[in-house]
Each structure stands twice: as structure tokens, then as C-alpha cells.
């Protein structure tokens, strides 16, 4: 028998206060630290006084502020997307890539780099459309075959492999596209601007609002299909709706940050220990936790090998890979206990 979701009775206010402070601290460090140290006073002067403060102010406003905002937006969107995907599929190893978002965005970006190498500005829009198209294809295929959880996972794996092979074919026939595609493939938050973040921010905000509005349905879905049906919820349809919201969140992040991995896998696992499974607490906590995680990883990427800079996706892989192995081992111990 499927167990019902656990509801934590611990106070949540200290948790959200701690997460909020962590995001603010990580954002402050992201603005101040880098190849050029900028004091907190200079950062505040730049934020409230504009670019008249000199070189430091221009670095803050035109390089680090967009990057910091991008980390917050992408981290929050990917973490909430991961939480939705794991809850809907009842699979602790699921992530936005499970439903084809990464593969679709990667294929669209590779096509854009190969067909229009001079139009780099088109890559974010192409990646967003590709991510949503791939997720829609996975959801359509699952719906035609019953929308069962295992069907969704298998459809996602099949579509992702096909699209991944298409990317390899493009890079084989158009090797020059590899240079422009490399940063997108590993995930990077370099060379952002606030104007470039405007459209993804609107999409992510709308999707996050939809996710928060559907927290009750998500909790009911976690009780199992039979219980959900008894309570008047169409489990198959709601599963597709929630995964569409998760896809929109992940696609908004992929459009400007590239194929960042592990944020949607790590964050829900860590925070579920503090919030329980109740979605009205889990989703906002994941938004804050994902933002903090990506801010820390991106800042570390700038500092660890200075003057060289690693893409944030590489640092995430170094953290997320061992964590994924830990999850696999823990699941195995649970099955053999």
C-alpha cells in the first residue's frame, strides 16, 4: 500500500528565515567576489547610485548583477521543477531532464549554432522553444499510452536519447558549431544582461505561481491514483498539468543558463528533510535553496582556479555526481534491508 505524504510539524518560519538569509549572503558574495574584489560599500554604492561610482560600479552593474540575478532565477526554477517532477513521478532520482527538457533545449541550441552561427542572440529563444517542444512530445506520448508514471519516465528516456543522437549528428556534420555550443552544453551564467533575463523571468514567475496554486492537487496526487480518484481528482490529467508546469520552469532556466544539471535533483532531497512532503512548504523552500546553491557554485567557479574560471555546470557536476551515487546506494540499502 502506498504511504501517504509526511507532514512535518516542525515550525517552518526559522527554516525560511535561514534560507532567505543564505540567499542574501550568497548574493552579496556573488556581487563582491571575483577576479576584482569589490568592497560591500562599493557594491551598495553601485546598486543605489548607478555606474557613476567608477570601474567597480560598472563591474557590479553590468557583469555581476545580471549574473547574480541569473543564478537566483535559474536555481529557483530548476529546484522547483525538480521537486515537482520527483513528486509527480514518485521517483527520488527524477529531474527536469527526465521529461526531455535538457535534450530538447540542447538540440535547439545546437541547430541554432550550426545554422545561424552569427546569430548567437537567438540561442536562448531557440533553447526555450526546444525544451518546451521536447517536453510536450514526452507528455503527448505518455498521454496516448495512459499517462502512467513509468510510461512518462520511459518516454522521457527514449525522446532524450533520440534528441541526444541528433545533437551528436549536428556536431559531426558542423564541427564549427561545437565552439558556440560548448558553454551551453556544460551550463554557464557568463555574459548575461538584465534585458536578456526579462522574458525568462516572466515565464518562470508565471510557472511558479501556477505550481504554488496547485500544491493541494500535488499533495492529493501523492496519496495515490485510487485515493486521488476517490477525492475527485483526475490523476492522469493532473500529472500532465504539473509536469507541463515543471517543464516551463526548467525551460526558462535552460534558455539562458544552458544545461545545468543536478540543481533539480539535489535541492528537493535536502530540503524535504526539513519541510516534509507538504508541497506548500516544499516548493518555496526549494526555490530559496536552489537559488542559494547555484549562487554558491557560481561564485566558487570564479574563485577556485583564478584567474581561470570554470563554468558553473562543472562545479555542480562535481557536487551532484557524488550526491547521485549516494542516493543510489541509499536506495539499494533500503531495498535490501
* For the chain, domain boundaries: 13-336
Q: What is the pLDDT along the chain (337 residues), one digit of tens a residue?
A: 344 444 444 567 889 999 999 999 999 999 999 888 888 888 888 888 776 767 888 889 999 999 999 999 999 999 999 999 998 888 877 888 888 888 899 899 888 888 887 777 788 888 999 999 988 888 888 777 766 677 778 888 888 899 989 988 988 888 877 777 877 888 888 888 899 899 999 999 999 999 999 999 999 988 877 888 888 888 888 888 998 999 999 999 999 998 888 899 899 988 998 888 899 999 999 999 999 999 999 999 988 887 788 888 888 888 888 887 877 777 666 554 4
DSSP 86-113: HHHHT-TT--GGGGTHHHHHHHHHHHHH
Amino acid 146: pLDDT? 66
Amino acid 337: pLDDT? 43
Measured CA to CA, the distance from residue 244 to residue 207 in angstroms comes to: 9
Amino acid 54: pLDDT? 79
Q: Of 135, 139, 60, 151, nearest to 97 (Cα)? A: 135
Q: Which residues neighbour 230 within 8 Å (Cβ) at sequence distance 6 or greater?
A: none
Q: Of 198, 277, 281, nearest to 4 (Cα)? A: 277
Measured CA to CA, the distance from residue 288 to residue 297 in angstroms comes to: 14
* The three cell numbers locating residue 198: 526579462
- The alpha carbons of the chain give a radius of gyration, in whole angstroms, of 20
pTM above 0.95, yes or no: no
The CATH superfamily assigned to 13-336 is ABC transporter involved in vitamin B12 uptake, BtuC (1.10.3470.10)
Amino acid 124: pLDDT? 87
Amino acid 336: pLDDT? 45
Decide if 334 contacts 280 (C-beta within 8 A): no
Amino acid at each position: 500500500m502506498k504511504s501517504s505524504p509526511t507532514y512535518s510539524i516542525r515550525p517552518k518560519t526559522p527554516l525560511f528565515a535561514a534560507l532567505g538569509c543564505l540567499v542574501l549572503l550568497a548574493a552579496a558574495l556573488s556581487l563582491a567576489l571575483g577576479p576584482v574584489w569589490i568592497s560591500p560599500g562599493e557594491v551598495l554604492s553601485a546598486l543605489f547610485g548607478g555606474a557613476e561610482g567608477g570601474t567597480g560600479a560598472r563591474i557590479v552593474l553590468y557583469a555581476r548583477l545580471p549574473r547574480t540575478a541569473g543564478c537566483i532565477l535559474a536555481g529557483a526554477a530548476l529546484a522547483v521543477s525538480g521537486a515537482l517532477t520527483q513528486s509527480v513521478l514518485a521517483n527520488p532520482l527524477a529531474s527536469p531532464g527526465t521529461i526531455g527538457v535538457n535534450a530538447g533545449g540542447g538540440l535547439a541550441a545546437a541547430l541554432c549554432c550550426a545554422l545561424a552561427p552569427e546569430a548567437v542572440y537567438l540561442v536562448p529563444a531557440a533553447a526555450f522553444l526546444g525544451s518546451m517542444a521536447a517536453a510536450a512530445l514526452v507528455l503527448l506520448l505518455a498521454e496516448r499510452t495512459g499517462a502512467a508514471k513509468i510510461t512518462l519516465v520511459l518516454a522521457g528516456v527514449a525522446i532524450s536519447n533520440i534528441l541526444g543522437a541528433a545533437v551528436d549528428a549536428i556536431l559531426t556534420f558542423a564541427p564549427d558549431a561545437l565552439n558556440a555550443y560548448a558553454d551551453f552544453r556544460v551550463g554557464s551564467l557568463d555574459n548575461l544582461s538584465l534585458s536578456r533575463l526579462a522574458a525568462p523571468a516572466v515565464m518562470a514567475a508565471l510557472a511558479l505561481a501556477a505550481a504554488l496554486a496547485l500544491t493541494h492537487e500535488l499533495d492529493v496526487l501523492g496519496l495515490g491514483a485510487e485515493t486521488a480518484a476517490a477525492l475527485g481528482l483526475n490523476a492522469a490529467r493532473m500529472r500532465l498539468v504539473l509536469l507541463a508546469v515543471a517543464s516551463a520552469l526548467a525551460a526558462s532556466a535552460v534558455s539562458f543558463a544552458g544545461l545545468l544539471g543536478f540543481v533539480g535533483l539535489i535541492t528537493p532531497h535536502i530540503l524535504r528533510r526539513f519541510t516534509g512532503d507538504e508541497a506548500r512548504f516544499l516548493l518555496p523552500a526549494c526555490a530559496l535553496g536552489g537559488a542559494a546553491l547555484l549562487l554558491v557554485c557560481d561564485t566558487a567557479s570564479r574563485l577556485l582556479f583564478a584567474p581561470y574560471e570554470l563554468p558553473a555546470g562543472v562545479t555542480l557536476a562535481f557536487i551532484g555526481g557524488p550526491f547521485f551515487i549516494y542516493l543510489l546506494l541509499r536506495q539499494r540499502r533500503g531495498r535490501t534491508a
